[in-house]
Structure 1
């Protein structure tokens, strides 16, 4: 959002300036991208959370978001509307993407930080054409309250600070996701891990106990445990469009691999599904892994 104030001498619009607010999760800041006139980076306590270009909601800056976008692009025919539930809202990057690429989609966003949601709504309003409902709710509670077969896609990008919350990693949670999806629907989760990928292995085991088909999208360096990074887990009751996902991920500016089948089973190893009583959050990123100086 470009500021409306004008310089008295120049008479031209001022450059956009950062906006800051304290929210439940910490200090939220919106930082302008000077290379894209109405693009903004949302950070919380210095960690990047979302990137939004108000003029081009189809632009996905973050690598993990592009991978979720590839899954959404392949989830149905071109432009076909989807009913989607988003667990975690941030600056609503993916709801904006779905609204732009699949007009007529109906979307619901569960964002537990009401102050963050209000901050985003004030400074980065959704277009009037977007049928997106944002509610101040815990993602798992919203998922468990959903009517069976309500959604074509459930997208989990929910972080409590630097972690995926423990209660969003368990077998009952996976069953709730399966219950909320329609036949042929897809679950996608943004996860983060590093060698030896024990957290991701536990998620493969957990969702593999509920869904017949799984795939993992990530950069090869992350899959090999060479660095901490994001991995996107996909799950469904029907075969995933692996060939199309492989093509899209390979063509990305930062190519990713699509891991599935026996290779994914090897990654899982001896990991077992996670019970509620045994759940732990995702590992903390190394200092500086995602921070903005």
Structure 2
């Protein structure tokens, strides 16, 4: 920041859920949820009601992206995928292979939308990145989600606390 004027990106300094609940419908092509209170995603940004608010502001064909932390056995990540699946037809998980193998705590990016995601292109780009990642989609992602349940407001909890040193802090 600051972004170039031509970027056509509008930033909103507000509580994410409050803004999404009151923001204009069908007004965004992409919603990026990279929201932390300290080192954790706040509980009120983890429920079906929050995801519905995010979906409401997306235009047809829009994409929701969330950066979320977790570690094996991935209870938080699985519940977030189940939560997104109550609203969006398409789900993709992107994470560093060591995180997905349960070797360490780390972040994953969840991609959700109502239209198919170009998984082949996404897989090529993430594999060739300076920090290569793995892409999970379809049957493999459904297996990863397993029996996880969507999160209701009354059951919402913040993301797990990262262990000391997880992100070079502590």
Q: TM-score range by the shorter chain?
A: over 0.9
Secondary structure, in 3 states, of the residue corresponding to 2:49? helix
Secondary structure, in 3 states, of the residue corresponding to 1:255? coil
CA shift digits 1:258-293 (9 cap, x unpaired): 101111111111111100000000000011111347
Cα pair distance change 1:145/1:223, threshold 3 Å:
same
Q: Does 1:279 align with 2:156?
A: yes
Q: List alignment gaps of at least 5 residues for structure 2.
A: none
Question: Alignment partner for residue 244 of structure 1, among 121, 141, 146?
Answer: 121
- TM normalised by structure 2 equals 0.95
Superposition RMSD on alpha carbons, in Å?
1.5
CA shift digits 1:235-268 (9 cap, x unpaired): 0011112111111001011210110111111111
Question: Alignment partner for residue 184 of structure 1, among 61, 75, 86?
Answer: 61
Q: Does 1:105 align with 2:8?
A: yes
Q: Does 1:172 align with 2:75?
A: no
Partner Cα distance (2:128, 2:168) in 1: 27
Partner Cα distance (1:245, 1:167) in 2: 29
1:204 aligned residue: 81
CA shift digits 1:20-65 (9 cap, x unpaired): xxxxxxxxxxxxxxxxxxxxxxxxxxxxxxxxxxxxxxxxxxxxxx
Larger radius of gyration: 1
Question: Alignment partner for residue 230 of structure 1, among 101, 107, 111?
Answer: 107
Q: How far is the alpha carbon of 1:188 from its aligned partner? A: 0.4
Q: 4+ residue runs of structure 1 moved beyond 4 angstroms?
A: none
* Relative contact order higher in (CA < 8 Å, ≥ 6 apart): 2
Secondary structure, in 3 states, of the residue corresponding to 1:287? coil
1:139 aligned residue: 16
Q: How far is the alpha carbon of 1:226 from its aligned partner? A: 1.2
Cα pair distance change 1:104/1:192, threshold 3 Å:
closer
Q: Does 1:158 align with 2:61?
A: no
Q: List alignment gaps of at least 5 residues for structure 1.
A: 1-91, 110-134
Q: How far is the alpha carbon of 1:104 from its aligned partner? A: 4.5
Partner Cα distance (2:167, 2:32) in 1: 21
More strand by share: 1
1:269 aligned residue: 146
Secondary structure, in 3 states, of the residue corresponding to 1:108? coil
Partner Cα distance (1:231, 1:292) in 2: 19
